[in-house]
């Protein structure tokens, strides 16, 4: 439950999925990704050689109109940019969830 509360209160949720089968399946990540995708605060990436990520890639493209980040550094940089854009720059603390800006899905 602590993780659910923390993700609810998070400004940004970063998903880095370096999935390798059979040693690192991480299929629970698929459920978590789908659950949080519509929050507007997800940033997603994976290395090019990750396994079983095509559906995650597709969902991210459809909902965010972005390609997945292929490098961890670029993913972290984008996460920091998003975090800066989602809370009010006038204060030095992160605002409560109900006071934060929420990203709207871009219409094509």
Tokens of 16: 């880095």
27-39 tens-digit pLDDT? 899 999 999 998 8
Quick check: 74 and 45 in contact, CB under 8 A? yes
65-108 tens-digit pLDDT? 999 999 999 999 999 888 887 765 544 555 555 655 554 544 44
Integer CA distances (angstroms), 61 to 10, 47, 65, 72, 104, in order:
22, 16, 5, 18, 15
13-60 tens-digit pLDDT? 999 999 988 888 888 999 999 999 988 889 999 999 999 999 999 999
Half-sphere exposure of 102 toward its Cβ, with a 13 Å CA cutoff? Answer: 12
The pTM (predicted TM-score) of the whole model is: 0.76
């Amino acid at each position: 439950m602590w993780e659910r509360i923390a993700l609810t209160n998070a400004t940004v949720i970063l998903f880095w999925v370096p999935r390798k089968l059979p040693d690192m399946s991480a299929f629970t990540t698929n459920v978590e990704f789908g659950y949080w995708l519509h929050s507007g605060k997800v940033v997603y990436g994976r290395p090019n050689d990750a396994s079983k990520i095509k559906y995650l890639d597709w969902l991210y493209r459809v909902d965010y109109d972005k390609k997945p980040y292929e490098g961890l550094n670029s993913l972290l940089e984008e996460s920091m940019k998003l975090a800066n854009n989602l809370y009010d720059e006038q204060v030095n603390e992160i605002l409560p969830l109900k006071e934060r800006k929420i990203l709207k899905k871009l219409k094509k």
